[in-house]
Amino acid sequence: MEDEHNNKIITLQTFNLLSSLLSILNTNDELDTDFVIAKYFLNNLNHLKDISIYKVADECFVSRSSVQRFIKNIGYESYTQLKKGIDVVISHESSFINYTDHSSYREYLTDSISKMCQDISETCSMKGFSRLVDMFMDARNVVLVTAEDSSFPCKIFQQQLISIGKLIRITTNATTNRQLLESLDENDLIVVSSITGNFAIAIDEEIRKLPARKCLITLNRSGAFENTYQFIYYIGNKIQYSIFEHASIRNVYNNYGLSLFLDFFYHECFMRYNRQLNQ
């Protein structure tokens, strides 16, 4: 995605500014310059567009060059470019409020999860699911690409697969391994997980040029993805998006859908592994 001056605002590295800032907050010492700047940005997200880089430096008691270096390290060319991406972060945060703002939240959540489980289960009984498993099990190397805030179920899935001798690798917008992705060829498989499609939109240009076979797991039915992926698997049919621009969408599929789907997927891989052992 690009702005009017042809500067990329969202790429594989910059897709989730919030995750990058929180990662620094969680892993760095409180006296570290990066920690101080990250904490300042997080505390001032709603006002950052009106704060100059000079004020950031003054209030963080660091040099302006330290702020500029921090900004480059998290994937932005300049403070101006970072501020242009703030609206995405604010919109993302607002989606959490909209998601939980229900007077009968427990009933709403329970009912939504029940319907989602049925939807994903029914979808996994279709031919597309079997085709995806075939591609996955037959690939020489598999790399699962996902947004950092969706990576936990993927990491559990990675551990599960070890039990059947299938080793995969994971890369996220916070831990991008471009060397790994660029080393893959047509015998390998890149699986992009992007339930709403936002992450897939952000990395579309970078993923498209890679020579490996590519598969997308999503709910987003935008036809633009067909130019990038050889196979697109839709995890459900009851909720469908059809946009090719970043949009803040949050529902039970965001929070629980990938975990459920990957459990079904691992089970099918396990069953195929057992059948091969018994042949």
Average pLDDT, the chain: 88
Q: pLDDT category, 6, cuts 50, 70, 90?
A: very low
Which CATH number characterizes residue 179's domain?
Answer: 3.40.50.10490
Which CATH number characterizes residue 26's domain?
Answer: 1.10.10.10
In tens, the pLDDT along 225-261 reads 999 999 999 999 988 887 776 667 788 998 999 999 9
- Total domains, the chain: 2
Domain limits for position 142: 104-278
66 and 187 assigned to the same domain? no
Q: Per the structure block, which two tokens stand in for 196?
A: 């709403």
Residue at a domain's end among 41, 76, 94: 94
Q: pLDDT category, 14, cuts 50, 70, 90?
A: low
189 and 66 assigned to the same domain? no
Residue 275 has pLDDT above 90, yes or no: no
The answer to whether the beta carbons of residues 247 and 235 sit under 8 Å apart is no
DSSP 84-130: HTHHHHHHHHHHHHHHH--TTHHHHHHHHHHHHHHHHHHHTTSHHHH
Q: pLDDT category, 90, cuts 50, 70, 90?
A: confident
CA geometry: angle at 85 spanning 81 and 91, to 5°?
165
In tens, the pLDDT along 29-43 reads 999 999 999 999 999
Q: Give the pLDDT of residue 11.
A: 55
90 and 108 assigned to the same domain? no
166 and 239 assigned to the same domain? yes
85 and 160 assigned to the same domain? no
Q: Give the pLDDT of residue 4.
A: 38
203 and 87 assigned to the same domain? no
122 and 232 assigned to the same domain? yes
Helices 86-100, 17-27: axis angle to 10 degrees equals 90
